[in-house]
Every structure is written in C-alpha cells, then in structure tokens.
Amino acid sequence: MKYTIDKNGYYGKFGGSFIPEMLYPNVEELRLNYQAIMQSPEFKNEFQYLLRHYVGRPTPLFFAARLSEKYRAKIFLKREDLCHTGAHKINNTIGQILLARRLGKGKIIAETGAGQHGVATATVCALMGMDCIVYMGKLDMERQRPNVERMRILGARVIAATSGNMTLKDATNEAMRHWINHPTDTHYIIGSVVGPHPYPDMVAQFQSVISEEIKNQLQNDIGNPYPDYVVACVGGGSNAAGAYYHFLNDEHVQLIGVEAAGKGVNTNESAATTALGKVGILHGSKSLLMQTEDGQVIEPYSISAGLDYPGIGPLHAHLFDVGRVQFINATDDEAMNAGIELSRLEGIIPAIESAHAVAALSQLTLSEEDVVVLNLSGRGDKDLETYIKWGRY
C-alpha cells in the first residue's frame, strides 16, 4: 500500500493536475523544482529556524488528564493552537514563502475563505517584506471582518471576489486568474492539501512536522512513538495530513478524520465530504466533492468556517478509498458542546474546527490503555463571536 504520490502526482485514483493551459507554465515550474529546493540543507535550515523561533515549535504534546478520565483513555493534545497566529496554517505559509523566494518570486497571492489562511499568508509576507494580495469572497469579507482588518494591518491588499456566491470558490477562481496574468513574478500560496499537483504533496510535507514531533514526544513521554489513535478534523485536510504523515505506514496506528456534519449529514446543510461526496474535479485535482447529479458543486455548510469546504484533498480521498483512515463526522451542536467541554476540563478554548475532533472522542470505542493523540489545530479566540451567539454555556 502506498500513500505517497506517484510520478504523475496521483494518490491512487486521486490527484493530478487539471488546470487551464495558461496556468501550465507556473505549475510546471513549481513541480520541477519543489522537491530539490525542499531537500536542500540550506532550505531545511531556514525552515527549521523559523518554525522554532518564529512559529514557536515544537508545539507541546499535552497529557489531558481530566479529558482522559472522562473518556477512559490516555489522551494527548497536540497543541497547534499555540502556533504564532493561532493555528497550524503558518507551518505551510512559511514553507511556501521560502520556496517562492528561491524561485525568484517577489509577489504572493492567496485565496481565503474565513480569513485564517489569508492572515497566515499576510503574516509571512510581512516577515519577508513581500507584496501580498489576498482574494476573498465579498460575502466572506462581511462575515469575517476582524480577519480582513488583520490582513490589512499586516500590509496585505484584500480584494473582494464578487462573482458567483462571493465565497471561497469564487476567491479561488480570481486568484487563479491573477496568477495566469502574472506568471513570472508571483507565487500562489494555497492553504490546504488541495489544488493541482504538486500542491497537495508540498503542503502535506510542510505540515508533516506535526507528526514528526508527535513521534519524538511520545517516545520521550511514554517510551513508545506509536499511539493507538490519531484524531484530526478535516476541512481541506492539511492539519490531518500533517498529524497522520509519519504514521501512514504504521498500520496499527488507527487514523481518524472528523468532518463537519453541519446541521446533520442528511439535512442539505453539511460539509461531510466522504459521507456525501462523489468523484469529481475541484480546484485543479481529482478528488471527492459534494456535487449535484449534473456535477454542480454544492455549497457546503458548517458552523465552523474552516471546515466549510465542499471537497477534501486527494490524499484523503485515497486514504478513505483504501480504508486507511476512518472518517466520521460531528454536527454543529456536537462540536460546540465539545468545545465547551474542553474549555471546562482543560482550560483550553479550541477553534471550532478543532472542537469537531474533540467531539469524535465520544464516538470511539476506547479502552483505558489506549493512547490517543488529538490534533488541536487552532485556538478559539477567532471564534468567540460564534461561541457567544451559540450561547449554551
């Protein structure tokens, strides 16, 4: 069983590069160079230096004693919420901006839905003194005002996408169009393990630092690098890919992916792609996505903006297809309750995305000896309004 891309950029049946011809030179330049750049000692040194001294890595692996008592298992939290800017996304944006510089690019573009990837991109552009344009749906800009202002404070230009539903899909289209028109001086930083090859593989490698650290930390803490379970939420799938990466070939480690069921998998207001999706092409790769009979992308829904995505990356489609990852889902209410529970039991208010992973604990059949690592992808500060509106605490 293989869980890495083949020479054509496929994970089993999924992946590849389905892009307009005009974009081909940009993606090809990246494809031909990314491995050599990422493997050079000079790149590795700079990446590792910034992860350590700028992002704050390694992030702690925290034994959650009260949560463990409640679920009768040994539960560890991987604290990605303690990364600079509050989530795992910065691991990827640091990696990609270092790559962009080595490709001689002076300008960066990105798309963003809720604004978290936009903020992580604007942050590294400020750090590197690079021009930054973030495309964001006009509707999303109204819904996520604080993140728009964060990006502006950091010096980025935020451009409203006014086509279609004026959300993430439309922002992505505008970013692609911009890239086609500025091929030589611009790099497009994609925010998850999605997009045309080589993005899914590149982003997964940048995020793989998460499982590399988990292995070392478990070895130190319990004398065994292998947990029984790794649990992570899945939007596009980057935090999950990072948390699974170095365990993929250790088949005795059970990998659990948690998708957002929204108001319920059968309500038409959901983002549970593996439960509802079919094979199709989205954002340049073949994967699973939520679509109508005639192939129109269905607008996803989740209370959590970061999980509100109609597909999953091709790696996850493959892991689902071959049964390596067990996908489950949690509703808005289950996630919100789990977020409050973690706050009360451990003094950690999680991002609502991460709260979906916490909600999975009650769906697993655990025993006292089981070691569970839960990837806490982000902190709840950005979600305070949503917690307040929900109100049940």
Ligand X SMILES: *Cc1c(COP(=O)(O)O)cnc(C)c1O
Structure-token match 């702690």, residue found: 60
Structure-token match 């999953």, residue found: 312
Residue among 370 and 374 whose Cβ is closer to ligand X: 374
Among 95, 196, 198, 236, binds ligand X (CB under 6 A): 236
Structure-token match 């090859």, residue found: 197
Q: Which of 74, 89, 105, 286 is catalytic?
A: 89
Residue among 339 and 370 whose Cβ is closer to ligand X: 339
| Annotated catalytic residue 89 | yes
Residue among 74 and 198 whose Cβ is closer to ligand X: 198
Q: Does 380 bind ligand X (CB under 6 A)?
A: no
Q: Which strands make up the sheet holding 229-233, listed edge to edge?
A: 61-63, 74-79, 371-376, 229-233, 254-262, 325-331
Q: Does 310 bind ligand X (CB under 6 A)?
A: no
| Annotated catalytic residue 377 | yes
Among 354, 359, 360, 387, binds ligand X (CB under 6 A): 354
CA nearest to 357, candidates 226, 280, 215, 258 = 258
Residue among 93 and 116 whose Cβ is closer to ligand X: 116
CA–CA gap between residue 111 and residue 177 (Å, rounded): 11
Contact mark string toward ligand X, 160..189, x via CB under 6 A: ------------------------------
The answer to whether 323 and 222 have CB atoms below 8 angstroms apart is no
Q: Does 208 bind ligand X (CB under 6 A)?
A: no
Q: Does 234 bind ligand X (CB under 6 A)?
A: yes
CA nearest to 93, candidates 147, 139, 54, 143 = 54
List binders of ligand X among 80-139 (CB under 6 A).
Answer: 87, 89, 116
Among 235, 262, 277, 380, binds ligand X (CB under 6 A): 235
Q: Which of 192, 211, 285, 377 is catalytic?
A: 377
CA 293 vs CA 296, 308, 320: distances in Å: 8, 21, 22
Q: Does 239 bind ligand X (CB under 6 A)?
A: yes
CA–CA gap between residue 92 and residue 261 (Å, rounded): 26
| Annotated catalytic residue 215 | no
**197 φ, ψ (degrees, to nearest 5):** -55, 135
Q: How many residues sit in the footprint of ligand X (CB under 6 A)?
A: 19
Smallest distance from the beta carbon of 258 to ligand X, in angstroms? 10
Tokens in use for 67?
């949560």
Stretch that binds ligand X, among 151-159, 181-189, 229-237, 275-283 (CB under 6 A): 229-237
Dihedral over alpha carbons 366, 370, 376, 380 (to 10 degrees): 50
Which residues here bind ligand X, judged by CB under 6 A?
87, 89, 116, 192, 233-240, 306-307, 351, 353-354, 377-378
Active site residues: 89, 111, 377
